[in-house]
Each structure stands twice: as structure tokens, then as C-alpha cells.
Structure 1
Amino acid sequence: FFFFRVGDVLLASSTADYMREDEVYATVGLINSRLDLVPTSTQQSARRTRIAMLNAKAGQLAVECAAFSPALGYFKTAIKLLPPDHWKSHFHESLNIYSSAAECAHIIKDSDERNRYCSAILSLDCPILDKVRAYHISTDGLLAEKRAESTAQVIPMILQLLDQLGCKLPKGTFRRSIRFLRGLFKLKRAASKWTLQTFQDKSTPPDATQVAITETLEKLALVAFLIRPELFPFFALETTERTLKYGIMPNSSTALAALAAIVGYFMGDFEASRNISEIALQMTDLPSNQHSKCSAMFTINATCQHWMKPLGSTVDDYWRAYEHGMACGDVDFGLRSAA
């Protein structure tokens, strides 16, 4: 009881937004030691909600330290303390807590918890943009199961999400091939005139829908590369077209790197491929593309650099990609670069 009271006093005398990291952990630890003492009456709902939000903040801090198991514990406590009508009274906070809990559960391979939180979000009657994060976590979870039946569910789920976001890919291999070839030749003709400024000449940044579409297309490409190769090029094609139209997306550099590989391999235009890959590398230095820098560098190193310089000289490029990937959390492409 004493520790709970100390934590309660600390919470009452401060604001969560201005607490230091150690203060957040200390206060949450003291209060969580006796959650049975947290009042359950409707009159004390605001107090419970404040404790829930403090747990959510502790969870976010733990995620930043890669302490995903403790983070999940904080998020679960936050969910437990949210008011019964939290989807109405605290929608965005609840959405973030549930999504973060699902991500942590996925990382520590707790598929039951991941599915529970994702299902809660996907069953909501809300705009599709609010569900994108849960969709992505669900598809990542299905892939992580490494079962044929689970993997088979991923592409239909991604295509359904793209359709709801307003990105309707052609149906059928023939129509997809026509769409791809038409778009590819159009981009190739324009590529010789491209500079980084071509993609930056937009008065406003791309909206959330366009960002969600390109992120979903990237997930589609990672899966389709192995099991539905006719869908793979649409990430490079659609994302590049949307970057030209709406501005630079967080993964535009990776899309341009993939386009450079396609133009070089598929069309044999190594000069255009060189120009596109150089723009992609310039784009990786932009703050908005830091997280995709490693994947873009790896793609260029693996598929384009050997046309531009001796293969042995790419070792340093791979090493730089590895270092950046490990620094920004892109472990997948970081390790691919190291290999």
C-alpha cells in the first residue's frame, strides 16, 4: 500500500509529458505494484485513464530501448485500465496502445496476443487508414509463421488493403503485364531527365494515404518476390509514379533502386539505370528516407553497382549499408549487406 501511495502522489504532482524517463519508470513501477488499489468507480475513471496513459508512455520508452517484453507488459496494463468506452472517448490513444502491444507481441513471438490486439483493431468501424498498422502487423505475423497456408493468406490480405486505400492493381497476369510494361516504358523515357529536384518540386508533402499505399506495396514486393513474381515490380512502378506525383515517400529511395535494377536487367538500359540509382542514393541522405537507406543501398549494390564499377570495390558500399542498417534498426537488410 505504501509504495502505491508514493506512486500515486508522484503521479498527482507531475505531468506525464514532462516526466523524465526514470521518473516514468519509477512512478509506473510503484503504482503497478498494487493495481488492485486503483479505484474502479466511474467517478475515478479519469484517474485510471491517467495511469493507463502513463503505462503507455512507459511502454513506448521501453520500445525505444528494444525492451519489447517489458513494453508489452506496460501496454497490457494500459489496456486493462482504459475505460469501457475507450474506443469512443480515447480513440487515437487506444489505437496506438493496441497497435504497439500487437507489434511487441509479434516481436517476442506471442502470436495469440498479437492476433488478439490486431483483431480488436480490424473489427472496428473506422477509416481504413487507422487499420493499416494492424494490417501490416498481421501480414508480418502470418509470414513469421512460415507455414504455406499462412503465407498464402498474405497476398490476398495486402491486395485487399491496397484496394481499400484506393490503389487498385490490375487483375490477372495478362493485365498486370500490360500495366507494368506500359508504366515501365513511360518511366524509362522520362528517367534520363530526372534529377533529385524532379522529385522534390512539390509544395506539400505526400498525404498519409499515399504513404500507406507505398508502405503496403513494399510489403507486397517482399512477399511476391518469392511466390507471386508478377506482382513484384508494382512496388517500384507504383511508388515511383506516386513519388513523381505527390512527393518523396519514406521508401521512395528503395523503390527507385528497384526500378534501376528492373531498367538495367529487363531493358538493358544501363545508362538510365545508373542515373536512377544515383538519384536513389542521393535520396537516401534525406531525413525522410533514413530508414530505407539500407534497403536502397543493398538493392543498388546487389543489382546495379557491378555495371558501374569493379565488383570488388563494392565491399565498402556493402559495409556502409550494413552499418547504417544496424544503426537504424533495419536488421534484415543490414545482415543481407553483411553476408
Structure 2
Amino acid sequence: MQIGRFLLKDTPSSLFSDKIFDICWHFNQSLDIINTPEEAIEIACLNLQAGQKAKSAMADQVAIKYLEFARACLPIDHWQREYDLSLEIYKEMIETLFLTGHFEQVEKRAEVLLQETVTILDKIKIFEILIQLYMVKNQMGKALDTALQVLDMLGVSLDPYPPEEFSVEKLSTLGKMTAPHHLAAMRILNFAISPSYTVAPELYPRLVFTMVRLSAEYGNSAFLHLAIRILPYSSVVYSGI
């Protein structure tokens, strides 16, 4: 613990990222002798940083260990006292567990996080991971149902008809989509396309029409290009329904 405190205090900011694993290692050997709640939160933040660094280096199993240490440092009432930090730790943990194939743990942790999170935007990342998880497990109906549930929570209804006027040329006139709610809706619509094609083909064109409509109203995003590419096919599918 003393060595960890020394390294934390004396490591120059330019070397901090390189030393984060060493600093955390010394702290993590003696978590039972943490002096104050403030120090526990500080160590939780350090382990979160270490976990994120390991994850970015594709060392996912190492990342899980640091994130577990980060979670262990949180107080019992951490959702009330340290909401933002708790949210970040849990989101990183769930995503890393998904990447390493710990699907049962993903669902358990996601259930906790969805109960504790306050806003729909705080829940979005977890829903995105769950939709991908269901797709990996070939539970396409469950993936689509989850996506539709989230769209409803975002206040987005599916367009029943193709856009009357929209061209590729219009892309250049669109501003950039910036509103978090609209970007979240575009991501969920994008995730919903694949399972809809399998289990509810009648919804497939409506998802694409909705992506185009949101883009026309609120701006361009990376997902619009996909919608434009498959819009002609979606219109053909729509005409055959």
C-alpha cells in the first residue's frame, strides 16, 4: 500500500499511463488496509483506468481483473454516492465479459445495471450489448424484441411507408447528427435490421425507412450510408408485402 501511494504521488504525469499497472498492483495487494473512503474511490478510478488500458490493448482477461478490483473498491451504497463511476465500471465490465464470451455473466451484470441506471441513455450501451449477445446466441426474436423495446423507450415509432423524397445528393446538404437520443436510435435501428430480416421481414423495410427519416430530420450519421445502400431493396420488399 505504501509503495502504491508513493508511486501515485511521485510518478510524473507524462509517465503515469506507463506506470498505471504497477501502481494498481501495489494497491490491489492490500485493499483491506485502505485508510479512507476517498482513497478507496481513488483506487477504484485507478483500476478503471488500468482496465480500460488493458481492454484497448485487447488484453481482455487482464482488463476483467482490474475492473473487478475497481468494483471491489466501491462502497456498499455506490449507486447513490458514486453513480457515474459505478456506471462506467459496470459498462466496461459487461462489454469486456461479452468480448471474452462470458455470456451468462453478461446477462447477470446487465440485469443489475438496468435496474440501477436512471436514464435511457445510461441504459443504451447495455441494451446494445444484449442485442448483440442474443444475435450471437442465434436468439434473433429476442434480439429484435429488445431493439423494438428500446426504440419505444426512445420515443421512436417505425415508419410504415418509404420516404417520398430522398436522394443520395441530399446527403451533402445534411448537417451532422449530434443529439445523443437520435444517435442512440440510429444505432438500435442498425442492430435491429439483421434479426428482422430473419424473424420479421415485414419490419425490415420499416426499420430502414425510419433510419432515413431520422437522418432527414436530424442530420447525417455513419448509419445513414448503410440505410441508403439498402433503401432500394427495402422498397422492393415493402412493395411485395
TM-score normalised according to structure 2 size: 0.88
If asked which structure has higher relative contact order (CA below 8 Å, sep 6+), I would say 2
Paired residues in the alignment total 239
Equivalent residue letter for 2:173: T
Q: Which has the higher mean CA deviation after the structures are superposed, 84-93 or 71-80?
A: 84-93
1:166 aligns with 2:138: no
Q: Which residue of 1 aligns with 2:52?
A: 60
Q: Could you tell me which of 154, 166, 173 is aligned with 1:198?
A: 173
SS of residue in 2 equivalent to 1:166: coil
- Offset of residue 238 of structure 1: 1.2
Q: Which residue of 2 aligns with 1:157?
A: 146
- Contact 1:214/1:235, CA 8 A, preserved across alignment: no
- Offset of residue 234 of structure 1: 2.9
1:9 aligns with 2:1: no
Flag structure 1 segments of 5+ consecutive residues without an equivalent. 171-178, 268-339
Equivalent residue letter for 1:38: I
SS of residue in 2 equivalent to 1:206: coil
- Offset of residue 55 of structure 1: 0.4
Larger radius of gyration: 1
Q: Which residue of 2 aligns with 1:124?
A: 116
SS of residue in 2 equivalent to 1:154: helix
2: CA distance, partners of 1:159 / 1:27: 44
Query: Can you list the C-alpha shifts for 1:268-320, whole angstroms capped at 9, x where unaligned?
Result: xxxxxxxxxxxxxxxxxxxxxxxxxxxxxxxxxxxxxxxxxxxxxxxxxxxxx
C-alpha spacing 1:125/1:134, structure 2 compared with 1 (3 Å):
closer
Q: CA RMSD in A?
A: 2.4
Equivalent residue letter for 1:136: E
- Offset of residue 260 of structure 1: 4.6
- Contact 2:215/2:224, CA 8 A, preserved across alignment: yes
- Contact 2:140/2:198, CA 8 A, preserved across alignment: no
Q: Which residue of 1 aligns with 2:200?
A: 228
Q: Could you tell me which of 30, 34, 39 is aligned with 2:26?
A: 30
2: CA distance, partners of 1:76 / 1:113: 13
Q: Which residue of 2 aligns with 1:209?
A: 181
Q: Could you tell me which of 92, 97, 104 is aligned with 2:96?
A: 104
Q: Which residue of 2 aligns with 1:237?
A: 209
Equivalent residue letter for 1:191: S
Q: Which runs of 4+ in 1 moved over 6 A?
A: none
| Structure-to-structure mapping, 1:286-301, within 5 angstroms | none
1:137 aligns with 2:116: no
